[in-house]
Amino acid sequence: MSDTDGGTPRRDEDRALNMLLRRVPRTRTLPQKLPPLAVPIEVAPFEGKTVMQPLCVRITVAAQMLGIGRTKLYALIKRGELKTIKLDGSVLITMTSLEAFVQRCAEAGSSGRK
């Protein structure tokens, strides 16, 4: 594009971006934060009944339980920090490996290591 066309390439990019932004609907309210999916077993309101804790959870649930993103969770899996099971194309993380990981992190934090 030449300068005789009425503007520089940078201005044209800015103009195109502004046109796109005007077309995106803006919401007035922010989405509410979803409640955590994991409920401590002591809080379960089942008196006299056996409450079963899941043996495995999906990637998104495990990430929520740890308070991290999926990318970080996949990095932990790749490093061998968490054990996974593949079942019909789904990747499941064992609850024992999640609990052991949290325990290791707590011990490392209490000893001053990071």
pLDDT tens by residue, 63-106: 999 999 999 999 999 999 999 999 999 999 999 999 999 999 98
* The pLDDT value given to residue 70: 93
Does residue 42 lie in a domain region?
no
Residue type, 40: P
How far apart, in whole angstroms, are the C-alpha atoms of residue 114 and residue 105?
9
Does residue 40 lie in a domain region?
no
Does residue 78 lie in a domain region?
yes
What is the distance between the terminal CA atoms of the chain, rounded to a whole angstrom?
Answer: 53
Orientation angle between helical segments 70-78 and 59-66, nearest 10 degrees: 100
Would you state the structure tokens that stand for residue 103, as one six-digit string?
């325990």
* The pLDDT value given to residue 109: 80
Three-state secondary structure call for residue 87: strand
Say if strands 90-94 and 56-58 run parallel, antiparallel, or are unpaired.
Answer: antiparallel
From residue 17, how far is each of 10, 21, 22, 23, 25 by CA, in Å?
Answer: 11, 6, 9, 10, 14
82, 98 in Cβ contact below 8 A? yes
* The pLDDT value given to residue 85: 94
Does residue 43 lie in a domain region?
no
Does residue 44 lie in a domain region?
no
CA of residue 36 relative to chain centroid, distance: 12
Does residue 79 lie in a domain region?
yes
User: pTM for this one?
Assistant: 0.53
**Total of domains in the chain:** 1
Does residue 68 lie in a domain region?
yes
Does residue 46 lie in a domain region?
no
pLDDT tens digits, one per residue of 7-42: 566 677 777 666 666 655 555 555 555 455 554 455
Which residue range(s) make up the domain with 8? 3-35+54-110
